[in-house]
A and B are shown apart, each in its own frame.
Chain A
Amino acid sequence: MTPIIQASNLQKSYSGQRVVDGLNLSIHKGECFGLLGPNGAGKTTTLRMLLGLISPDAGEISLLNLPVPQAAREARIRVGVVPQMDNLDPDFTVAENLLVYGRYFGLKDSEIEARIPSLLEFASLTNKRNAKVPTLSGGMKRRLTLARALVNDPDVLFLDEPTTGLDPQARHLIWQRLRELTQQGKTLLLTTHFMDEAERLCHRLAVLDNGKLISQGTPRELIEQNIEPQVVEVFGETAEAWANINAAHYSQRFELSGETVFCYLHDAQPLVAHLQTQNSLRYLHRPANLEDVFLKLTGREMRE
């Protein structure tokens, strides 16, 4: 089966700086694919190239079996987009936003009007139907943006940080909705900075850093391939001094971040037994997760 979204050897530079550098992606029908990467890694730029909004300097793209950017307009008829920054129409009500947006897809007013109730239901905005956009909370705006992206009943959804800035309740609601969309057979390409979100929602993930794809696979594969299975976090004022003497002995690898020592290891028992004798230290033993992988792959340094 040919992938729904395929990119090969994508390149994009801004003022001499490689922002996307030799990227290859293939995303299949019904997949929820996550694009991870620190700020400035090139996620949004990649999405914009895949949508045909900017042209790559080199490389090939096909979206829904159409060549992009040449036939991007035709491809976008079957695509929905949740942009990183909200761009709802502030002059309009919730329902008007959906109506006006549906018209851009060439839909008849009667068709859009018929879809609005179920879109509002999906976004849990039914009783906000006639509220103006500036009166909505951040979470409501995000849900409206998601509903708007569905107005043309797309086969593919691009979601650029769909849950950034939302409280846990709102994030959980969006997660549930995105799962429903994959169950309906839609293909989702999303970016996120939340590793728990990526781990729960995405079938496959790609980690981008400085425009390069540095790792790709299912969440489980990424963890298994990149990192020791167990983590013991050790914290306390004396953690650093403790680590300099003991950490290397008990763990395969360790990292110091602030007052916390992260010990990565295959068998945590000896370390845990040792830590139980150390009164000045506290610790947390847990399985390795995607965040550990992400930090290992992209480093603990701040970007930008």
Chain B
Amino acid sequence: MSIRDFALPELSMRFFPIWQRHWLVWKKVAAASIMGHLADPVIYMLGLGYGLGSLLPQMGGTSYMTFLAAGTVCYSTMNSASFEALYSGFSRMHEQRTWEAILNTPITLDDIVLSEILWAATKSLMSGIAVLVVIWLLGLSHSVMSLWMIPLALLVGLAFAGLGLIMTALAPSYDFFLYYFTLVITPMMMISGVFFPVNQLPESVQMVSNVLPLTHAIDLARPLMTGAVPPAALLHIAVLLAYTLFGFYVSLVLFRRRLSR
């Protein structure tokens, strides 16, 4: 272990050509990728929304479908950033040796990790927008406030990209990621208020829920979709930013220890 591993990240615009590289790869598979972003969340939203919605009373003054729409945007952005940071990130770091090629140029690991976070957040942004367009087309949200969902998708993406990269830095192989998805991501989806309000949960679970990034994202999203200003918005934004910075720094330290020795 070396003290240099713990140095603060050096930020520069050098991340940009790497981001451009990912963009060029993505453009080649854009159609399939957009399908992938959309199909799963929209099927769940419509299926559960119509099916359960007819059994359920109004939720917080909106239809169940509208309630679900806010959660759907958040968890689909969470998923896109996580998949990108874990599977695609690992492929670039390990399988394809893309990082190794880049490190031979005047680019540092700091630049690479920054580019990975920003790219994963870009994927979140794209999937967030795709889901939002469906929501708007279905008339599930009419408020201009719902436009704030776009920067929120980016922020959620940043937070989960950071967390995901910590896993990538620790992963011996792809199999490792299954733990993260089954032990972290899926339970988080259940207790962060995507499908039902958090206050339905036992007190102790609610306490856990209160520190999860997805809960804070949904606390912002749900009022925005109905045109309200989210209560304690700054707190929620601060929490998501804190997760982003934490993930960026910790994953960078771990990547340095993994790759620069």
Contacts and interface: CB of A to CB of B under 8 A. Distances in A.
Interface stretch (B15-23, B57-65, B130-138, B178-186): B15-23
User: Most chain-B Cβ atoms within 10 A of its Cβ — which of A83, A87, A104?
Assistant: A104
Contacts of B106: 73-74, 76-77, 104-106
A89 B96 CA distance: 7
A304 interface: no
A87 B17 contact: no
Contacts of B18: 104
A185 to B, nearest CB: 21
Contact of B25 (A73, A91, A105): A91
A77 B28 CA distance: 30
A55 interface: yes
Contact of B103 (A53, A74, A77, A92): A53
A101 B2 contact: no
A103 interface: yes
B24 interface: yes
A195 interface: no
A81 interface: yes
B102 interface: yes
B260 interface: yes
Interface residues of B, number: 24
Interface string B101-134: 1111111100000000000000000000000000
A295 interface: no
Nearest to A51: B104
B142 interface: no
A51 to B, nearest CB: 7
Contacts of A54: 260-261
Contacts of A53: 103-104, 260
B98 A104 contact: no
- Which of B2, B4, B21 has the most CB atoms of chain A within a 10 A radius of its CB? B21
A87 B20 contact: no
Contacts of B108: 73
A173 interface: no
Interface in B217-234: none
A77 B108 CA distance: 12
B119 to A, nearest CB: 14
A92 B25 CA distance: 7
A212 B103 CA distance: 27
Interface in B16-72: 17-18, 20-21, 24-25, 28
A85 interface: yes
A100 B260 CA distance: 23
A103 B20 contact: yes
A87 B100 contact: yes
A268 interface: no
B2 A55 contact: yes
A100 B20 CA distance: 8
B17 A76 contact: no
A38 B106 CA distance: 30
Closest A-B pairs by Cβ, 9 of them: A87-B97, A103-B17, A104-B105, A81-B104, A87-B101, A91-B25, A77-B106, A76-B106, A100-B21
Interface of A: 51, 53-55, 73-74, 76-77, 79, 81, 83, 85, 87-92, 96, 100-101, 103-106, 152
Interface of B: 2, 4, 14, 17-18, 20-21, 24-25, 28, 96-98, 100-108, 260-261
Given A55-B4, A83-B101, A91-B28, 15 more contacts: A53-B103, A54-B260, A55-B260, A73-B107, A73-B108, A74-B106, A76-B105, A81-B104, A83-B104, A87-B98, A90-B96, A104-B17, A104-B102, A105-B105, A105-B106
